C-alpha cells in the first residue's frame, strides 16, 4: 500500500515529487537554503528521528525517513509527521540490514543522520547477534553505501555513553538522593572524550564498534562524519520503556498509576538533554562538518542538567501532586552509578549550549504524555501510506503550546523523598 508520500521495499521506485514550502519564521538553526535533495534519517520514525524530521520539514527541507518500524508505536510518529508535513516527507520502510535498499536511499541524500539501531542494553543481552547485525553491520552497510557515491554526503552518527563502560573505577560519594564523584573536577565538568573506551554489554560493543567504523571511514576514506556519544535524551514523541528512555518511562508509569521499578538504590545520576537542544547540536555539527569530521563528542545536558532517579521521582510527585509507587530491585549489569557528559569540546567548537533546563523539559514531556500517549487518546485516525496501526496522536498539542512556558509547579507539603523501604518484587530477569 503506497501513495505519493511513501515507498516500500515492494514497489521499488522513488517517484515522489519533492515539494518546497516556505521557511517557517523563527526556527533556529535551519540557516541553510532549501534543498530539493532530501535529508536521509535512518531510524527516522523513532523518537529522535521524529523530532529532527519535524524541525527540518518545518523549515521546508525534504526528508526521507528510512525505518523498519521495528520499535512498537513508531507508526504514530509517522502518521503525525505525514499529517503535519504532507508531501515533503517520504518514507522508506526497510531494514539497515538490507544493503540494496540502503544504497538506493543514500543515492540522492543531501545529508545523512544514522539513528536506526537496536537501542536497548537489555535486548542486546537476550540476542547479541541480532544486536550486532543491526548496530554494527547495519552501520557498516550504510558507510559502504556512502563510500560508493561519487560525492558522499556528510554523516552524523549517534553513539552512546555506554562505550565508556560502567565507570566502576570512579570514586563516588553519596550526597542525599544522588551519587557524586569525589574528584571536584569531575563533579564540575563531567566525563570528557579522553576517557578510555571500555565497551560494556553487547549494546555497548555494537554501538562502540559502529562508532569506530564511522570515525575510521573519515580517516581512511575521507568520508565526512561526526559521532556523538550521547547521554540520556528526553522529550516529546518519546514513548520510553523500562529498557530505554527512562525519563519518559517513569512519567508514563506515573500517569498510568503503575509502579516504577528502580534497579539499584535510585541514586544513579545522569545528565539529561532535551531533544530540541540535541537537534540544535545535530544541525550545528553538520554546519561545522569541515572542521569536526572524524571526531567524536560527548553529548548530553552536561553538569547543568543532571538528575538522579530519586530526584526525578520527586519531580513527578510535584507534577502529579502525589508520589508514584516504587519497587526496588537488584542493580542492572553495567549500570553507571554516575554519568555526566563534559560538553565543552562540542560547545567550544560550535558555540552550542543546552537551553532547556531539567524542570522545564520534564514538565513539557509530562504535559505532552498527558495528552498524547497511546492510552490517553485511543481514537484511530486514517492513515496515509504504508502504516496500518492505530493513531492516538493529537497534532494540536504543538500548535496550542508553541512558545508556551510550563505552568509553575506546586510544592507538596509532604517531602517525597524515597526511603528505599518499598516492596521488592522481581518483575524482569536480572540481566
Ligand X SMILES: NC(=O)c1ccc[n+]([C@@H]2O[C@H](COP(=O)([O-])OP(=O)(O)OC[C@H]3O[C@@H](n4cnc5c(N)ncnc54)[C@H](O)[C@@H]3O)[C@@H](O)[C@H]2O)c1
Chain positions contacting ligand X, by CB under 6 A: 43, 45-49, 67-71, 74, 95-97, 115-119, 134, 138, 158, 160, 207, 230, 232-233, 245
**Which pairs from 387-393 meet CB under 8 Å and 24+ separation?**
387/69, 387/75, 387/78, 387/79, 388/1, 388/75, 389/73, 389/75, 389/76, 390/76, 391/75, 391/76, 391/79, 391/80, 392/76, 393/76, 393/79, 393/80, 393/83
List the end-to-end C-alpha distance of the chain, in Å, as a whole number: 40
Tell me if residue 203 is catalytic: yes
Least gap, CB of 210 to ligand X (angstroms)? 9
The CB-nearest residue to ligand X is 46
Q: How far is the CB of 265 from ligand X (least distance, A)?
A: 22
Closer Cβ to ligand X, 5 or 237, answer by number: 237
What minimum distance in Å lies between the beta carbon of 134 and ligand X? 4
Question: CB neighbours of 222 closer than 8 A, spacing ≥ 6?
Answer: none
The closest alpha carbon to 32, from 286, 279, 276, belongs to 286
Question: d(Cα 198, Cα 217) in Å, to the nearest integer?
Answer: 21
Cβ distance to ligand X smaller for residue 120 or 418: 120
Distance, CA of 358 to CA of 364 (rounded, Å): 10
Contact yes or no for 235/227 (Cβ under 8 A): no
Q: Which of 66, 164, 203, 213 is catalytic?
A: 203
Containing 225, the helix (H) or strand (E) segment is strand 225-230
155 bridge partner residues: 112, 225
Answer whether 61's CB lies under 8 Å from 35's CB.
yes
What single-letter DSSP state applies at residue 324?
Answer: P
Q: Are 365 and 247 in contact (CB under 8 A)?
A: yes
Least CB distance to ligand X at residue 100 (A): 13
Shortest separation between residue 99's beta carbon and ligand X, angstroms: 12
Closer of 260 and 418 to ligand X (Cβ): 260
SS3 272: strand
201 DSSP 8-state letter: H
Q: Which is nearer to ligand X, 134 or 170 (CB)?
A: 134
* Distance from C-alpha of 29 to C-alpha of 56, rounded to nearest angstrom: 10
CB of 377 to ligand X, least distance (A): 19
Instruction: Give me the sign of the Cα torsion angle 403, 382, 42, 240.
Output: positive
**Is the four-CA dihedral 212, 164, 341, 417 of positive or negative sign?**
positive
Which residues 6+ apart lie within 8 Å of 287 measured at CB? 31, 32, 350
Q: Which CB atom, from 213 or from 328, has the smaller least distance to ligand X?
A: 213
Please state the closest distance from residue 269 (CB atom) to ligand X, in A: 15
Q: How far is the CB of 93 from ligand X (least distance, A)?
A: 9
Residues annotated as catalytic are 203
Amino acid at each position: 500500500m503506497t501513495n505519493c508520500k511513501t515507498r516500500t521495499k515492494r514497489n521499488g521506485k522513488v517517484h515522489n515529487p519533492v515539494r518546497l514550502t516556505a521557511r517557517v519564521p523563527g526556527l533556529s538553526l535551519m540557516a541553510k537554503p532549501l534543498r530539493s535533495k532530501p535529508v536521509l534519517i535512518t531510524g527516522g520514525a523513532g523518537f529522535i528521528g521524529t523530532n529532527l524530521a519535524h524541525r527540518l520539514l518545518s523549515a521546508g527541507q525534504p526528508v526521507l525517513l528510512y525505518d523498519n518500524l521495528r520499535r512498537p508505536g513508531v507508526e504514530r510518529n509517522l502518521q503525525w509527521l505525514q499529517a503535519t508535513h504532507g508531501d515533503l516527507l517520504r518514507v522508506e520502510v526497510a531494514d539497515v540490514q538490507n544493503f540494496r535498499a540502503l544504497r538506493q536511499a543514500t543515492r540522492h541524500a543531501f545529508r545523512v543522520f544514522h539513528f536506526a539501531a537496536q537501542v536497548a542494553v537489555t535486548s542486546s543481552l537476550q540476542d547479541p547477534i541480532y544486536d550486532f547485525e543491526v548496530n554494527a553491520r547495519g552501520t557498516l552497510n550504510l558507510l559502504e553505501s556512502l563510500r560508493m557515491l561519487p560525492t558522499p554526503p556528510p554523516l552524523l552518527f549517534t553513539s552512546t555513553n555506554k562505550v565508556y563502560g560502567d565507570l566502576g573505577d570512579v570514586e563516588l560519594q553519596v550526597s542525599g538522593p544522588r551519587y557524586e564523584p569525589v574528584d571536584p573536577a569531575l563533579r564540575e565538568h563531567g566525563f570528557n572524550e579522553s576517557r578510555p573506551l571500555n565497551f560494556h554489554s553487547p549494546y555497548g560493543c555494537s554501538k562502540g564498534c559502529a562508532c569506530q567504523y564511522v570515525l575510521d571511514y573519515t580517516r581512511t576514506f575521507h568520508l565526512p562524519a561526526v559521532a556523538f556519544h550521547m547521554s540520556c535524551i528526553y522529550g516529546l514523541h518519546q514513548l520510553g520503556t523500562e529498557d530505554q528512555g527512562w525519563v519518559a518511562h517513569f512519567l508514563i508509569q506515573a500517569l498510568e498509576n503503575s509502579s516504577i521499578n528502580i534497579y539499584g538504590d535510585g541514586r544513579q545520576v545522569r545528565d539529561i538533554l532535551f531533544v530540541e537542544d540535541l537537534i540544535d547540536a545535530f544541525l550545528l555539527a553538520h554546519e561545522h562538518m569541515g572542521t569536526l569530521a572524524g571526531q567524536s563528542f560527548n553529548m548530553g545536558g552536561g553538569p547543568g542538567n543532571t538528575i538522579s532517579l530519586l530526584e526525578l521521582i520527586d519531580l513527578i510527585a510535584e507534577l502529579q501532586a502525589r508520589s508514584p509507587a516504587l519497587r526496588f530491585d537488584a542493580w542492572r549489569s553495567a549500570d553507571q552509578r554516575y554519568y555526566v557528559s563534559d560538553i565543552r569540546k562540542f560547545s567550544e567548537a560550535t558555540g552550542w549550549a543546552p537551553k532547556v533546563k531539567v524542570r522545564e523539559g520534564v514538565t513539557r514531556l509530562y504535559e505532552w504524555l498527558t495528552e498524547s500517549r497511546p492510552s490517553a487518546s485511543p481514537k484511530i485516525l486514517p492513515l496515509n501510506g504504508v502504516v496500518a496501526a492505530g493513531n492516538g496522536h493529537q497534532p494540536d498539542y504543538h500548535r496550542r503550546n508553541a512558545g508556551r512556558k510550563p505552568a509553575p509547579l506546586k510544592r507538596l507539603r509532604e517531602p517525597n523523598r524515597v526511603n528505599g523501604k518499598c516492596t521488592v518484587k522481581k518483575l524482569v530477569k536480572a540481566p
